[in-house]
Every structure is written in structure tokens, then in C-alpha cells.
Amino acid sequence: MSTDYRFKIVMLGDGAVGKTAMTARFTQDYFEADYKRTIGTDFSVKRMNIPEIEAHVTLQIWDLAGQPRFEFVRQGFYRGSRGGLLLYDVTRRRTFINAEAWKDEAFKNLKGEIPLVLVANKVDLTDSRAVTTEEGEEFAKKNGFLYVESSALTGENVEQAYIELCKIMIEEGKTKSSGPII
Ligand code: G3D
Ligand code: MG
């Protein structure tokens, strides 16, 4: 018998790092095409089974439509989220530097820490890579995040990133003795 869980999660990171592409790849298994039009709004939902931990998870994935300039616009976006994927683009160093600010903004708005998975996206663009694996791993380690290298284009590690986050959120729920969220 699987246990049911339901989580709201947020996609964090600078503009054009691949938040929408990754969400589309995961929820609909496609890249490009019309995803900007179909997901432009508030959130998308994905149901999944994680057999090895006997969990059935419904994920409500919130993605910022555009990049609102003012933080207050993003407050509702954070509210109630239990975890997130923090993305940067391995070909643009600035997006890696800014990951720290995204983390700070999320924890400030949530009034505490939530599990985050650091996602180094666009690893298919090997020739223009500007941030090394070691740098990504070091930042993740320093903050206690899991580190994943992905490509929304090829699909590499996309599902894994969400699954790893689910596992951490489920574990957290247990240690905080709140039991499953149904
Ligand atoms: P955002 O939602 O974080 O703002 P998007 O980012 O998902 O809109 O992606 C921004 C651009 O990066 C898009 O290109 C998208 O196709 C591309 N992209 C996203 N993920 C990857 C990836 O893993 N590899 C490669 N090569 N490109 C990716 P356009 O040209 O539509 O702006
Ligand atoms: Mg987007």
C-alpha cells in the first residue's frame, strides 16, 4: 500500500535558466513547442509513483510566469511551498552567482528553510559551459542541498531532480513527526 502525499513546490532561479522548460519536460514530457503558452499561468500538477519508498505523490509545481521585478509580487508564489528546485544555467555564470539570492529570498519569505535541490541545467551545452561541476557541488554542500546536473533539452536527470526532492520532503515530514500530508 502506497502512502499519498501532496506538496507545493517552487521553481527558483534567474530568467531563462530553464524553469519552464524543465517543468514542461517533467509534467508533459516535451520541450519547446507551445510550453510558454500552456504553462504561463500559476502552476502545473504532476502525479507520480515512487515505488522504492512506496509513495504516491501529487506535486503542484509553481513557476514564475516571466520574472516579476518586485519581490512582493512573489510572496504568494512562495506561500505554503514545501520544497523547491533552484536552477542555474551552466553557460551563464551570473545565474550561478544569483542562486544564493534566490535561496535567501525563498527562506525569508517562508520564514524558514525548506529542502532545495540545486539544479545545474543545460549541461548539453558542453562547449559553452562556464560553471564547473566542482563549483556546483561545493555551493550545494555548503548549503546542505542535493546537487543534480540536468538538461531540459535532452531530458537528462529531469525526473530525477523532482524525485530526489520528493524523497527529501517526505523524509522531513517524518522527522518532524507530522506524518503524511494527505
Ligand atoms: P525560464 O522559465 O527559467 O525563464 P525557459 O527559462 O524554460 O523559458 O528557458 C529559457 C531558454 O533556455 C529557452 O530558449 C529554452 O528552450 C532554453 N533551455 C531550457 N533548458 C535548456 C537545456 O537544458 N538545454 C538547452 N540547450 N536549452 C535549454 P529560447 O530560445 O526559447 O529562449
Ligand atoms: Mg519561465
Q: Which of 22-31, 67-76, 87-96 is most confident?
A: 87-96
> Ligand 1 pocket check: which of 12, 14, 20, 62 to mutate, most ligand atoms within 8 Å of Cβ?
20
Q: What distance, in Å, lies between the first and last C-alpha atoms of the chain?
A: 14
Give the sign of the dihedral formed by CA 122, CA 127, CA 133, CA 134.
negative
Q: Taking phi first (over 0 means left), then psi (-120 to 50 degrees means alpha), and beta for anything else, what does residue 173 get?
A: alpha
Cα–Cα distance for residue pair 15/76, rounded to 1 Å: 19
- Please tell me the distance between residue 3's alpha carbon and the centre of ligand 2 in angstroms: 32
Which residue's C-alpha cell is 525563498? 106
- Please tell me the distance between residue 154's alpha carbon and the centre of ligand 2 in angstroms: 18
pLDDT at 88: 98
The proportion of the chain whose per-residue pLDDT surpasses 70, expressed as a percent, equals 88
pLDDT at 52: 92
pLDDT at 62: 92
pLDDT band at 75 (very low <50, low <70, confident <90, very high): confident
**For 89, which DSSP code?**
E
pLDDT band at 42 (very low <50, low <70, confident <90, very high): low
Cα–Cα distance for residue pair 118/115, rounded to 1 Å: 10
At 141 the three-state DSSP class reads: helix
pLDDT band at 137 (very low <50, low <70, confident <90, very high): very high
pLDDT band at 176 (very low <50, low <70, confident <90, very high): low
> Ligand 1 pocket check: which of 12, 149, 153 to mutate, most ligand atoms within 8 Å of Cβ?
153
Q: Report, as an integer, the average pLDDT of 162-167.
A: 97
Could you tell me if 181 and 173 are in contact, meaning their C-beta atoms sit under 8 angstroms apart?
yes
pLDDT at 44: 86
DSSP code string of 27-55:
HHS--STTHHHHH-SSEEEEEEEEGGGTE
122 CA closest ligand 1 atom index: 23
Set out the domains of the chain in order of their start, with CATH numbers. Answer: 3-176 (3.40.50.300)
Q: For the whole model, what pTM was predicted?
A: 0.92
Report the nearest-CA residue for atom 24 of ligand 1.
Answer: 122
Report the nearest-CA residue for atom 22 of ligand 1.
Answer: 122
